Structures are given as C-alpha cells and as structure tokens.
Amino acid sequence: MAFQTTTSAPRPLPVFILADTSGSMADHGKLAGLNLAIGELIGSLAADDEVVFAEPHVGVVTFGGFAATEHLRLAPVRNVSWRDVTAGGMTPMGSAFELTRTLIEDRDVVPRRAYRPVLVLVSDGQPNDSWRAALDALIASPRAQKADRFALAIGPDADETMLRSFTGDAEMVLRADGAREIRRFFRYVTMSVIARSHSIKPNAALPPPALSFADMDD
C-alpha cells in the first residue's frame, strides 16, 4: 500500500510598502530611484526559490495629492507585477497609515494564518495631514504592533523624529540623499524578509541589521 505525504503551503508573510509620491519626490531622481528599488525588491523576493516556511506577499500604499491609494494590492510576490508610480501633490501620510491599518485588519487581505507583517515607510518630507492619531491607531493594531517596521528619510526635509515614531527604533530609520541609497535601503529590507521566510520561526524577532550603507555593494 502506497502512502502519500502532503506538505502544507507556506504561510503568508505580508510586506506593506508605504511610499511617498508627493510632488517633491519628482526632484533629483528620487522617484526614479524608488521605482527601481521596489521593482528590485519584488524581483529578488520572487527569485528566492528556497522559501519553505513563509511566502512573502507584497502590497504598496502610495500617498501623494490629498489621499492615500492602494497602488498594489497585497499578493504573493511571485504573482506581483510592478507598475511605476508618479509624483504629485502634498504628503498625506496620515491617510496612508489609516489605509494600511484597514488593509492589515481585513482578513480577506491578510488571512489569520499570516505571519506578522513587515511595514516599510519611505518619505522625503513632512506629513501635510493629521497623522498622529492615525499612526497611533496603526501601531496599536494587534496585527501591526509587533511588525518589523523600517523607515527611510530621503533628503534634508524628511522628518526623522516623526519617522522614529513610526519605527519605534532609531536603528530602523535610515537617511538617503539619492537613488543609490534608496536602492541600498531596499536591499536591507529584502535581506530581512528573506531571513524571516527561511527561518523555522518566521514570527520570531530578528536582531536589527547593521544599518550601514558602507557595508552594501552598489
């Protein structure tokens, strides 16, 4: 009598990118660098064929103009096709926090079996809306409060104090002056997600990476 063995499908590891697409992001190649970096992250995660315990799912929330938008709905990274974003308008970051919380708490978007998420915030400026209450609600969300949270401050006008409020850890906030550093930052994020997806305990906290751009290859 032959016995059949079955393996359970990897559980989702949600990765949400909150991307600033305000008008100032069009300056100095910042938006081009962001588009390239997100595309590389998706490509690298999709090419990782050693995932056993967790499967990265990627979604992108953009904030520019007057409200946030679900630019890329959360989906298994192997099924994701990146579409470049465009820049314009103000910096409604609070709207992005509110939309992200709604998505994370939606069981049709992030199922119960999913591992704790990764949240990545990228901005070159300061919020133009009421962001504090929306951020507090996001961080207090049972599904987001234990998330790995990364932030990138692009250029001198980005509010690093506010971004530290998002991450809860100064070591998880980096500064970039241009496209080169943006790409390096997303390589850090990619490495963190891959490390968790390969771990036998994908929900376990990983030690903060050595966030030094000097350690990264171009």
The CATH number linked to 116 is: 3.40.50.410
Which letter does DSSP use for residue 88 in this model? -
User: How much is the pLDDT for 6?
Assistant: 47
| Residue 85 covered by a domain | yes
Confirm whether 10 is domain-assigned.
no
CB 170, CB 211: distance < 8 Å: no
**Could you list the pLDDT tens digit for every one of the 218 residues in the chain?**
444 444 578 899 999 999 999 999 999 899 999 999 999 999 999 999 776 789 999 999 999 999 999 999 999 999 999 999 999 999 999 999 999 999 999 999 999 999 999 999 999 999 999 999 999 999 999 989 889 999 999 998 899 999 999 999 888 899 998 889 999 999 999 999 999 998 888 988 766 555 544 455 55
Which of 68-74's residues contact partners 24+ apart within 8 Å by CB, and which partners?
A: 68/18, 68/92, 68/95, 68/96, 68/98, 68/99, 68/100, 69/99, 70/99, 70/103, 71/19, 73/109, 74/14, 74/16, 74/103, 74/109, 74/110
Domain extent for 170: 22-215
Q: How many domains is the chain built from?
A: 1
Decide if 116 is inside a domain. Answer: yes
**For residue 133, is it within any domain?**
yes
pLDDT at 150: 94
> Looking at the domain assignment, is residue 11 inside a domain?
no
Q: What is the pLDDT of residue 52?
A: 74
- Looking at the DSSP bridge assignments, the partners of residue 14 are 57
Q: What is the pLDDT of residue 216?
A: 54
